[in-house]
A and B are shown apart, each in its own frame.
Chain A
Amino acid sequence: MAETGRLTRTAQAAPMFSPVTLLRVAIILALLAGWELLSRSGWLYRDVVPSWLAIGKALGDLLFHADYYFHLGVTAAEIGAALAIGGISGLAVGIVIGANRFLAKAYEPYLYYLGPTPKIIFFPIMIMWFGVGPGSKIALGTLSCFFPVALSAAAGMRQIDKVLIKVGQSFRANTWQTVMKIYLPAMRHPIINGIRLGLGVALIGTLLAETKLSNKGIGFLIIQAYSVFDMPRMYAMLIVLFVLAIGANALVGRLGGLHTIRR
């Protein structure tokens, strides 16, 4: 009986919502209310801050319009191609550099310093090389994606337990078997981390290229909404884009088991 009584008391004491949840809800409500107030105040130019109702309507129109999914498909295909080309080439370069200290000293500084430079400035070159179609967007995404994947793979190679490599050698594993059975499984976390970073920058590179010069894709839709000053539509697209980008980032991390790493 005493046990039951204690359990009952515990259940009663537990609040329905934790203070953190309540604070989060309060912050969101305050932001929404502040936005609506700003929208109706007339302090900014008309439509610069549209009401949530208008943004919600634009969001509904967007999500129930087949045309949007065509453009989303184009952008997703470009990003996918960029990630595949940039990821595979980055991985190959990272493995070669990471496996050889001499090559790492010779070439890694170039990767390290070129990695964070703004890639969008290469877009004029990409247009010259690959034309104004999806090719130049894929190329820019590939260029953006290559560096983080290569650097992560090189760092991952260096942290592989030497014992694992010796085990492979003792089994007389050839180069291909060593890469597939030892290197790649042992480097899973750094590679996934690199792909996660690569996905983020490939997405930015591809979409920015679309906003600069394109006739299809989400970037094109955003700049089109800007040029006709359809602000609710632009906000709706940015909201969807941010949710997709953050979601994809979290998904790659989860699929790669990054959340299971003990820190």
Chain B
Amino acid sequence: MTAVARRLSIGNWLPAALGIATVVAFFAALEGLIQAGLVNRFIVPPPSEIIASFGRVLTEEHVVSRFFFTLGECFAAGVMITVFGIAGGVLLHRYKLLQEAVETWVAALAAAPVVLAYPLFMVIFGRSAWTIIMIGFVAALPPVILKTLEGLSGTRKVLINVGKSFNLTGSQQFWKIMFPAALPTMFVGVRLGLIFALINIVGVEFLINYGGLGQLINDLAERYDLPGTYAAICFVILVSVVFFVFLEKAERWLRPVD
């Protein structure tokens, strides 16, 4: 290995090692402070107890089935945002007047705290998975519409001209040129939408005490099972991070060159 390559390799793993070491040192210090009685263990359980409760939470609290329940809700919301979001974006792109009239409204909806309307959704859909899915859907719809619109509007003129030179019909022009050209940008919208959906779905599960992983945290907190609550929160964070990484990889696969 050359000196430059070695330096590059060290430059890559050293910061990552520092990050991990900081996290480990933080939890070790916390454990020490709790064992020394300087931090109340009934407020912050020792990290060793949290780690030990992982197995119990996984087996006794049916985490796997809860995970699939939340995943199912995300999948349902994801299918809905993909279908309605892309259709909405295509519709707005097709009718320019409609786009000029409502694009700012869609952007405003993206900034609106839709999740706060969850009591309203509970009244309409009851305390059921549909309430959770619909909130995920409504909160995640605007980025898909806006990104679809951006993707279609950003199709390179030269591609459209190639289509015209081949005398393509409107439908052919859309399916053979515009849609494939806009697909990577559309996926950015779907990715953002899925992230919004997951955040809202887990949050509403926690708030209405129904469903999968969000409910698990609420259940354990109400039972005052502190190590279990912390372990469940760690598990949800882990699931969220894996979900985001997976979506990022999928996006990179779909758009290898920026």
Q: A109-B19, A249-B111 are in contact. Are A124 and B97 (CB under 8 A)?
A: no
Cα–Cα distance between A44 and B217 once the two chains are bound (Å): 33
Please tell me if B108 contacts chain A, counting CB pairs below 8 Å.
Answer: yes
- Assuming A118-B199, A231-B123, is B113 touching A241 (CB within 8 A)? yes
Given A117-B237, A118-B203: A107 in contact with B113 (beta carbons within 8 A): no
A13 at the interface (CB under 8 A from B): no
What class of interface size applies to chain B in its complex with A? 35 or more
Q: Which residues of B contact A95 (CB under 8 A)?
A: none
Interface SS of chain A: helix
CA distance A223 to B245 in the complex (A): 35
Chain B nearest CB from A41 CB (Å) reads 15
Give B183-218 as 1s and 0s: 1 = Cβ < 8 Å from A's Cβ atoms.
000000000000100111011001100000010011
Contact between B119 and A208 (Cβ–Cβ < 8 Å)? no
B28 to chain A, nearest CB (A): 17
Contacts A44-B124, A204-B116 given; does A121 touch B226 at CB 8 Å? no
Question: Which stretch (A20-28, A147-155, A161-169) binds chain B?
Answer: A20-28
B102→A117 contact, CB < 8 A: no
Q: Is B170 an interface residue (CB 8 A)?
A: no
Which chain A residues border B115 with CB–CB below 8 Å? 204, 208
Do the beta carbons of B120 and A121 come within 8 Å of each other? Answer: no
A72 near B: Cβ within 8 Å?
Answer: no
Interface size on A, residues (CB 8 A): 52
Residue B76 at the A interface, CB < 8 A?
no
Stretch at the interface among B29-37, B152-160, B174-182, B228-236: B228-236
CA A91 to CA B22, docked complex, whole Å: 21
CB closest residue in chain B, given A197:
B111
Give me the 4 closest cross-chain CB pairs, A-B, nearest first: A105-B15, A124-B221, A226-B119, A106-B15
What is the interface of chain B, defined by CB distance below 8 A to chain A? 12, 14-16, 18-19, 22-23, 43-44, 97-98, 100-102, 108, 111-113, 115-120, 122-124, 195, 198-200, 202-203, 206-207, 214, 217-218, 221, 226, 229-230, 233, 236-237, 240-241, 244-245
